[in-house]
Structures are given as C-alpha cells and as structure tokens.
Amino acid sequence: MLVLTRKINQSIQIGDDIELTILAIDGEQVKIGINAPKHIEIHRKEVYIAIQEENNKASSVSIDLLKNLSAQIHKK
C-alpha cells in the first residue's frame, strides 16, 4: 500500500484520468473530491461490498433457476 501525506487543496493523480483532492479536514474526517471519467464507478467501500454481495445473491438465484428449468425441460 502506498501511503501519501496531503494537505487541504493538495491532490493525488491516479493515471491520466483520476484526481483525488483533499477538500477539508475536520477532526478524524477527511473530505475528498474525486475527479474521474463518468464511466468509472466510485463508491464508499462498504457500499461497494454491499453491491457485490447483492450481485452474488442475484446470480446464484439465477443459476438455481436455470438448473431447475433445465431439469424440467429434460424430464419432458
């Protein structure tokens, strides 16, 4: 993990297209501005994990449904 120290209004550049800017520091909270292309999804990590879990649940239900449908078709 790369660890960098930044002050308010200083930035970190990731590749050619992503810039992170420190906007404010208030106690233990840091406000970060992210400038990135619209096709790049940006989420807080806990939201990203929740999305992944929901996607996994949805895909496993779909697989089970397909298996059941396939079994029913083969019985005929």
- Reported as a single tens digit per residue, the pLDDT across 55-70 is 888 777 677 777 888 8
Spatial distance between the Cα atoms of 5 and 51, rounded to a whole number of angstroms: 30
22 Cβ neighbours under 8 A, 6+ residues apart: 6, 7, 8, 9, 10, 11, 30, 31, 32, 33
Domain match, 34 and 3 both: yes
| Residue 51 shares a structural domain with residue 73 | yes
Number of domains composing the chain: 2
Cα(28)–Cα(72) distance, integer angstroms: 57
| Same structural domain, 1 and 32 | yes
User: Do 25 and 11 lie in a common domain?
Assistant: yes
27-36 per-position pLDDT tens digit: 999 999 999 9
- What is the Cα–Cα distance from 76 to 73, expressed in whole angstroms? 6
Domain ranges, residue 76: 43-76
DSSP state for residue 11 in the 8-state scheme: E
Indicate whether 50 and 32 sit together in one domain.
no
Task: Specify the pTM.
Answer: 0.70
Per-residue pLDDT at 61: 65
Pair (30, 63) in one structural domain: no
Residues 34 and 16 in one domain: yes
